[in-house]
């Protein structure tokens, strides 16, 4: 029986979500834990493939469990798996879904958030980027708004990625002030390309530093050239924040 798994993880110890030979990955840790407990290979498919060091506040994955496993069995399985995967992964729930439900292909929207702080803070550095204090967030928001819409984001994607299209429907892009010294960037779309969010944030930071005008982002989109966009920002400040489905809702 197919189930959706709701989980979160700190990205720093992992070489991304996806299984890679010789590397520690979130997917690999999950598959190893469930295979040990169920005594059979148990593939786990995630809603996306976060890069090395990227965090997930809310990730959804699907896996197939034995048909005889009831709700009580799922709760016990979840407790046991939580004990195996270690402190950097938290498993929240296992929910039965339709046999053809797919964590990646059925997702209707994904949101990422990127956190920055403008004053040195030793308690933020693991999950936030220390930005220069003079960033122009008003200009950065003006540039971010221009990115919204169904567009080709090839200029913000890692080259040589195995994707059929680089077109994404970007529905939200804005900087939000949390307090005097902390901001975060919210970005939501139907799908994201590899490294896209970190490249978008790097480009907006260039706008905030006065290195380019807000409207330059439109020219970057049209050039279809990764070299035209800003640098890729550090991974530790990026979080997969939520994944939405037409038929399933995960409590944060």
- Residues involved in catalysis: 51
**Which is it for the CA torsion 72, 74, 79, 80, positive or negative?**
positive
Element (H, E) at 203: helix 196-208
Question: CB neighbours of 31 closer than 8 A, spacing ≥ 6?
Answer: 19, 41, 42, 43, 44
CA torsion through residues 224, 230, 231, 237, sign: negative
Three-class secondary structure of residue 179 per DSSP: strand
Token look-up 């002030």 returns 177
State the DSSP code for 155. Answer: G
Q: Are strands 167-179 and 149-152 parallel, antiparallel or unpaired?
A: antiparallel
């Amino acid at each position: 029986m197919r189930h959706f798994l709701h989980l979160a993880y700190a990205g720093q110890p992992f070489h991304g979500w996806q299984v890679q030979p010789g590397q520690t990955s979130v997917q690999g840790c999950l598959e190893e834990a469930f295979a040990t407990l169920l005594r059979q290979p148990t593939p786990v498919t995630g809603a996306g493939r976060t890069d090395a060091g990227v965090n997930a506040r809310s990730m959804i994955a699907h896996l197939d469990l034995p048909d005889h496993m009831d709700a009580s069995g799922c709760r016990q399985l979840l407790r046991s798996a939580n004990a195996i995967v270690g402190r950097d992964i938290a498993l929240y729930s296992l929910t039965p879904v339709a046999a053809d439900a797919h964590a990646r292909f059925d997702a209707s929207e994904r949101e990422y958030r990127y956190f920055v702080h403008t004053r040195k803070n030793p308690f933020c550095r693991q999950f936030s980027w220390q930005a220069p204090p003079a960033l122009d967030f008003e200009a950065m928001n003006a540039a971010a708004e221009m990115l919204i819409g169904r567009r080709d984001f090839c200029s913000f994607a890692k080259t040589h990625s195995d994707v059929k299209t680089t077109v994404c429907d970007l529905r939200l892009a804005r900087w939000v002030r949390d307090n005097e010294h902390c901001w975060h960037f919210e970005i939501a779309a139907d799908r994201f390309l590899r490294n896209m969010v970190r490249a978008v944030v790097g480009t907006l930071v260039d706008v905030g530093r006065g290195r380019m005008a807000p409207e330059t982002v439109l020219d970057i989109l049209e050039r279809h050239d990764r070299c035209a966009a800003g640098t890729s920002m550090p991974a530790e400040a990026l979080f997969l924040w939520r994944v939405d489905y037409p038929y399933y809702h995960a409590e944060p």
